[in-house]
Amino acid sequence: MSTGKSVWNRNSIKKPLLAYSNNKCAYCEQNISSTSNYMEVEHFLPKKPHSNLVLSWTNLLPACKRCNTSKGRYDPIADGMIINPADTYPQKHLYFSNLTLRYRDDIGERTIRTCNLNSTDRLFLVRSELHAAMHHSLERTRSDMKTYLAGDTSFEKEQQIVRSMDSILKSAGHERPYAAFLATSLLSDPTYLWLRGELEKCGLWNNLDHLEQSAKSVELAL
Ligand SMILES: [Zn+2]
């Protein structure tokens, strides 16, 4: 059923795009859904002059209203290539340094600028809050681990620590909102690395390793 005037703005197109992106904006990774007006169908090559591609799957991306508006009529062919999230691994062009997305080359620079991927009123704020929440969880888990290492080796304490790490790692899994930022922050965090080492020494790491692999798959480290 159509949800708007445009031929591409319908659920039969939006839903597969969202399924492919794990319900995330292809550019900024924020959560979006097909039922929200905030989700828009982005044309990587704009409708003008590429009218032959308005319904081509390879040209359609799920995007939030903010990113779609920022990109506007930018034409990657005429104006300079940017990252197409559907077929380009961003690690080649971008990396995170603290809260800031930085570029390795012209494609990365144009992508950040065109889609406003360091917007102070939105993405900086979101990253800051996510980082603070992750830091808090890591510190709480470090405190539990210290108690465990000091002698409270009860099964309950052990499970509490493993569950906490499981939850922290899942928040940075490839399918989660803002996964690239969270994975990059987490995997280089000194508290995380200390916890990982201690869990490994205690034989408690094995069941968490696949979650770390998921985070690593989207990490944008220098
Ligand atoms: Zn977005």
Alpha carbon distance 20, 114 (integer Å): 23
Question: So what's the pLDDT on residue 35?
Answer: 64
SS3 assignment, position 182: helix
The DSSP letter of residue 150 is: T
- If asked whether residues 21 and 108 sit together in one domain, one would say yes
Residue 1 pLDDT level (bands cut at 50, 70, 90): very low
* Cα 216 to averaged position of ligand 1 atoms, centre (Å): 22
Asked if 109 and 127 sit in the same domain, the reply is no
| End residue of a domain, out of 93, 115, 137 | 115
Is residue 190 one of the residues assigned to a domain?
A: yes
Give me the residues near ligand 1 (ion), CB cutoff below 5 Å.
25, 27-28, 64, 67
Same domain, 85 and 156: no
Q: How far apart are CA 171 and CA 75, in angstroms?
A: 34
Together in a domain, 93 and 134:
no
Q: Tally the domains of the chain.
A: 2
Specify whether 169 is located in the same domain as 87.
Answer: no
Ligand 1 centroid to 151 CA: how many Å?
47
Say how far apart CA 119 and CA 172 lie, in whole Å: 21
Q: Give the Å distance between the CA of 71 and the centre of ligand 1.
A: 10
| CA dihedral sign, ordered 194, 197, 202, 207 | positive
Same domain, 201 and 183: yes
pLDDT at 176 over 50: yes
Does residue 190 have a cis bond before it (omega within 30 degrees)? no
| Domain assignment present for 3 | no
Instruction: For residue 62, give its domain range.
Output: 11-115
How far does the centroid of ligand 1 lie from the alpha carbon of residue 63, in Å? Answer: 5
How many angstroms separate the alpha carbon of residue 147 from the centre of ligand 1? 42
Instruction: Name the average pLDDT for the chain.
Output: 93
Q: What does the alpha-carbon distance between residue 189 and residue 183 come to, in Å, rounded to a whole number?
A: 10
The number of helices, as runs of H, and strands, as runs of E, in the chain is 9, 4
Which amino acid appears at position 54 of this protein? V
Stretch 154-161: mean pLDDT, rounded? Answer: 95
Ligand 1 center to residue 85 CA distance, Å? 12
Q: Final residue of a domain: which of 115, 141, 167?
A: 115
Measure the CA–CA gap between 12 and 126, rounded to whole angstroms: 31
Same-domain status, 205 and 133 = yes
Angle subtended by helix axes 155-171 and 123-149, to nearest 10: 160
Percent of the chain whose pLDDT exceeds 70? 96
Domain co-membership, 58 together with 98? yes
φ/ψ (deg, to 5) at 26: -65, -20
CA of 29 to the centre of ligand 1 (A): 6
Closest to 196 (Cα-Cα) out of 221, 172, 165, 151: 165
Asked if 180 contacts 219 with a C-beta cutoff of 8 angstroms, the reply is: yes
Q: Please give the pLDDT value at position 4.
A: 43
User: What's the average model confidence in pLDDT over 65-84?
Assistant: 95
Average pLDDT over residues 103-132: 96
